Structure formats: C-alpha cells, structure tokens
Amino acid sequence: MQFIYSTNSTQIAKQIQQMSARLPELEAPLVIDPTEASINNTFDRLVLCLNDRRVQLINEFRLKQKDKQAAETVRIKSLEELSNAKANLQAQMKQDLLHSMRENIMKDIVTKIKQLDVKVKETEVRFDCKTQELEESISVLGQLVEREIISTPNYPALLQPSISVGEKFNAVGIAYDETSQLIYVADGNGSICVISITGKYIVSFCKGQVHMPSGIAISGRHGSGIGEFHIPRSITIAPNKDVFITDSHNNRVVVMTPQLKHKQYITHNTMTRPSDLKFQDNKVYILSSTDNPCLHVFNSTGEKLRSFISCSKEGNEQVGGCYSFCFDKKQNIIMGDSCTKNIKVFSQEGSLLHRLGDTQEEDKRIRTEGIVVTSDNKIICASFLTKFALHIFC
C-alpha cells in the first residue's frame, strides 16, 4: 500500500478514488472522519494564512529595505552636498581671508611708504638745514681767514677817485659782476648802463622801459599791505635765496620767498626809511636813510641786536645822510655820506677809520647812491646829481 500525504483532505480522497479505479483488486479506501477533515481544512487554511503572511512580511521587509536604501542614498547624497558646500565655503573663506590679508598688507605697505616718504622728507629738510648751516659756517670761517690773510686797503692813499666817468646820466644804484668785471649802473634817466672796471662805457639797455630805477626789480603795488610797497629802494638776495626788499616809506623790510611769496616783515620803532641791506656773518645789516641815519643789526629771525654809526642828538655826526653801504674784506663798513659828499670807513665797533673823496673840486664831489667793494679792494660808488655818475677808487 502506497502512503499518500497531502495537506488537503479532499484532494487525498480524490487521489484514493483515482487509485481505486486503476487498481480494482485493492480494497476500498477508508472513509475519512468529517471532524478530522474539518481540522485538516482549518489547518490547511492556517498554513495558507501563514504562507501569505510570510510572503507579506517578506515583501514588506523588501519594501522597507528598498525605502531604507533610498533614504540612505538620499542621506549619502545630502552628506556629499554638505561636504561639497563645506569645501566651497572653506575655499571661499580662504579666498576672502587671503583677499583681506592682501588688502591689509597693501594698506600697511602704503602706510609704511607714506611714513617712509615723510621720514625721507624730514631727513632731507634736516640734511638741507645741516648743509646750509655747514655752508654758512664754512663761509663765515672763510671770511675770518680771509680777513687775517688779506691786507687792509691803504685807505689814506685813496683820498681821490682814480676814475670818474658818466657825465650823461645820474646813478641811483650799482652792482658789480666779479666774473666779467663789469659795472651795472641804474641810471635815474630811465636805463641801465654797463661800464667796465677801467671806466669804459659798454652799452645801455631798458631805455624808456623803467622810471627812476633804484636797484629794485619786483612786482608789486603801491600801498602798505602785503605785496604793496611805498618807494622801495633796494633788493638783496639772502644766502638761503629769500628776497629782502627795503620798503623805505613803509619803514620796513619785506622778506619774500624765492617764488616772491610774502614771508615776513622786519620792523623796529627805531628804524625809519630803510634804504639798503646787506648780510654778514649770518646777520642782517639795515641802513636807515636821511630821517634818522643809523645802521641796525638783526639776526636771521628778525630780532634786533644793536644799532650804531648814527647821527647823535648832540650834533656829533658820524653820518649825515646815507643811502648805501657795503663791507670790505676786513668786515669794515664803507658808507657813502650824501650830505658831506664823501665816503666813510667804520669798524664793526662804529669807530670812524677813514674818510675818502674829501675834495673842494666840484668835478670830484660824490653824492653816493650805491657803493660796492671788489675782491681786490677797489671801491666803486654811484653818484647822483653830480658831474660824474661813477667813481672808482683803486
């Protein structure tokens, strides 16, 4: 007898009947109990439910796995995006930091360059000042040495001028060029005359272009304000290239830059009608003219140091009226006295050393409007309203 196993009792019964039909010699199959069949059916349904549930669980698990894989993929993608964003942010921050550092470095460089420029300029100014001081010291030392080795001019032998020329003009100002040995005379008739040191007439120029030239050559207006003048009489260039102008009827000396910009005034209540100005040993010597003849000495900042060579109230006249003066190699002061019509030589202490040009001859009389001393101790003076306009003592 063949054993047949089936999870379905109906199918089992059917299979038994089919076997009985093929094998009639076999005994009829046993009748299956209905209760047992019901239990078997219940059991079969339970197995089917379990199988269905197992399949459902498997499918749900697969779906969850799939969802989990998708979520993991999304998470991985998000992480990658975050990582890329982080890298981009770091790169941008690094670039911004480098840019900021670069800007700060450039600002620091620009600031340091400006500071360096300021220091360079300060150094240049200090260097220029030191150089100027050194040059002035060397100049003063040179003058001192020169005074010791150069003999004093033999003034007593120069009582009369060696050369007198210029009968056709009136001299009101004078300048001498050591290089060319030419004398430039401001002619009150309105021109500039050039004469050699031997008294030979060379040429005239500016005729008709100037009126009563007196050694002044600067742009200005009539008045008493800045840039204004009232009868300026002389112009002098300082060692530092500043321009000094004696503004006589405003009772002051005007100091201007080399570019002719106003810088300062030099004034004092005892200084009236300044007519001439010279520099010596870092000091400014200013000559007052006829109202109160006197020589005033100021330092480079405009502070008055002393006054000397004046006309005393007691009548002991040292000078009567002067418009011009100069220094010789011994630093003696040579003045042209237009009142006594001669030339006087004073020491730095104000003592009268010599009188030159004293004469009763009308042709030789001197009314000095300008005076210079050459390097070889020749004295040249311009004379106004006299027969001869130019006198040379040599």
Q: Compare 296 and 20 and report the one with higher pLDDT.
A: 296
Selected from 2.40.30.10, 3.90.1010.10, 2.120.10.30, 3.30.200.20, the CATH number assigned to the domain covering 159-393 reads 2.120.10.30
Among residues 269, 371, 360, which one has the least CA distance to residue 319? 371
Q: Which residues pair with 311 in a beta bridge?
A: 317
pLDDT in tens, 322-341: 778 888 888 888 888 777 77
pLDDT for the residue 16: 58
Q: Compare 122 and 228 and report the one with higher pLDDT.
A: 228
Q: Compare 340 and 125 and report the one with higher pLDDT.
A: 340
Among residues 312, 313, 390, which one has the least CA distance to residue 352? 312
Question: Which helix or strand (DSSP H or E) is residue 323 part of?
Answer: strand 322-327
pLDDT in tens, 142-165: 665 555 545 556 665 556 777 888
Task: Report the percentage of the chain scoring pLDDT > 70.
Answer: 73
Identify the residue whose tokens are 């002051």.
Answer: 252
pLDDT for the residue 272: 85
pLDDT in tens, 354-386: 888 777 676 677 778 888 888 888 888 888 777
Sign of CA dihedral 137, 138, 143, 144: positive
Q: Dihedrals φ, ψ of 47, to 5°?
A: -65, -40
